[in-house]
Chains A and B, each alone.
Chain A
């Protein structure tokens, strides 16, 4: 390839850099002019989309994204302080995906997610207290301290987990969609997974059945471009994920995951298709995680500059600018929201800290719904 041809995609270039230097410190593929242009275009598109929302709705989306951001920042601190054990996968950078899509569904609709689900649980209406307490392994946690970071559940709110085998939840969500259709309700299921899960058999097996049997499931691929430390370019032959729906004759869309309103609109279209025609949809929502895969990620597979490039497209920054420029809210209002959100998160930390550990007797509860005493007639 000559030097005059177009530069390879950034991910591929990053891979070259990684293989040559180990830890990447070379300048990334950032064209600042192009970046500014992209950002301005995203802003214009978001402004156009704002008209479909009431002021209250718009501010609520902002509040939820900020709540997730602040919650996750505190989770990271608590993890470092040793208050949270095990794995802890943060949602920072991906807030627009969860908030935008869940704003498009009803309370009685189902959400199933992977292990990167704190933000989705908050967006579905679970309290910061119940989630933080679960992270702390306390009896007051949403799963009574038995699930932890990767297994948040709330039956009342239709939040059906927190699943930690990559792709496993895709088959489960296909099942909840099957059940709602069987029961004759018009509930829909949103199923979240990372782009790495697309390579699993469960993804393909599920999408095939969902389209074959017309199941009201919306498959939301949160493409944050890395499966742990492996870039998409190193793991997937066809990287245009939304195209994979063609294999099943399923509807699909590619969505800008840094624009909360773009996510909301795409999900609304998919939800309508699911409610009215029982048809599934695959949404590929392009996003980026600003933090590591988990709290123990050394981050040596991507450059600081690459992260900074995407931070310019921060979904909260973008929406803040839109709200201010369109005079939906002034600085004071947004600051007040931030203050309240910070208070809510602080309160959740206090609550989690002060909550009791599970009773030792809980070790043997919830293994069976109908425990059997062997030998009893």
Chain B
């Protein structure tokens, strides 16, 4: 075990997979000579050279499509979006090409590609640079969507994503690159896609949290423990396919659930999880499912407004107390 930041854990995963498989290459804006806008790709150009680590022009639709085409011809591209905000320009290629190619070719063309980069809220960069897009991508059959919340998960899941034969949208959290944690040293350490992780066991209330909400949920659980409420924190890690079984099992035990997410509430992943719980565990619920979501507004710039737009520990605590009928 080593203690690494999420940034360095991702870097290690990329390094190991580039070394392991010649057909893996990395492309994106500033990934090579600049060493990565967020330094996730630091040192990779130096180690693997310009054939494998490629700076692109600012042309998201173009290089996303180029990546999908390269995957059709047998390569395993890792395409970095400097931030997922810019992936919006590339959605035609991610959705219409990558997600559907295998199906509409009758199973002939698999697309082993990873689209990765930071997403979710960042620090005071306002509306266009601070948003959560996972529900967009999770909507489409053909894509897999992953959102890690710890350095070990980041490394193990990214390695699995690169080895996977399907297109994977891998959303890192911009605020979390510096978070530290224990990471196994074994170069063959991977975490399977589609497997939720119980981040904390408990018996009174289930908190389903992903990405940035996981550390906040854990802090909330600590505070609630002091107040005599035992929380189970579940991190789905993979949004599509969603390990709903693990969530439902927990709900059957606790009978109460809070879903914490930084995305907008409308048509979000939390709404989907809530519907699944309703369909599979309605009779076990002792309170309505409660969502704690990002504000239903474009992200504001001013620090105080930005704080109000993103769920915090206090709001999660309040939601748990509400479903536990404590207030």
Contact = CB atoms under 8 A, between A and B. Distances in A.
A367 B103 contact: yes
Contact of A146 (B57, B97, B103, B246): B103
Contacts of A177: 69
B107 A366 contact: yes
Contacts, number: 174
B110 interface: yes
Give the size category of B's interface with A. Answer: 35 or more
B165 A175 contact: no
Given A178-B69, A367-B102, A372 B194 contact: yes
Interface in A195-223: 201-202, 205-206, 208-209, 212
Contact of A369 (B56, B92, B93, B110): B110
Interface residues of A, number: 51
B81 interface: no
A375 B198 CA distance: 12
Which of A146, A208, A374 has the largest number of chain B CB atoms within 10 A? Answer: A374
B106 A377 contact: no
A299 interface: no
Interface string B125-152: 0000000000000000110100000000
Interface in A45-96: none
B67 to A, nearest CB: 6
A160 B102 CA distance: 11
Contact of B241 (A154, A365, A372): A372
Interface string A156-167: 000011110100
Contact of B57 (A143, A145, A162, A208): A208
Interface string A299-314: 0000000000000000
30 contacts: A143-B108, A144-B106, A153-B108, A153-B109, A155-B109, A161-B101, A161-B104, A165-B92, A171-B61, A171-B62, A171-B97, A172-B97, A175-B69, A176-B69, A176-B72, A179-B74, A201-B62, A202-B92, A205-B62, A205-B63, A208-B59, A208-B62, A367-B141, A368-B142, A369-B165, A372-B194, A373-B194, A375-B245, A376-B192, A376-B194
Closest 9 CB pairs of A and B: A175-B69, A171-B65, A205-B62, A144-B106, A179-B73, A369-B110, A172-B69, A369-B165, A153-B105
Interface of B: 25, 51, 56-57, 59, 61-75, 92-93, 96-97, 101-112, 141-142, 144, 164-166, 192-196, 238, 241-246
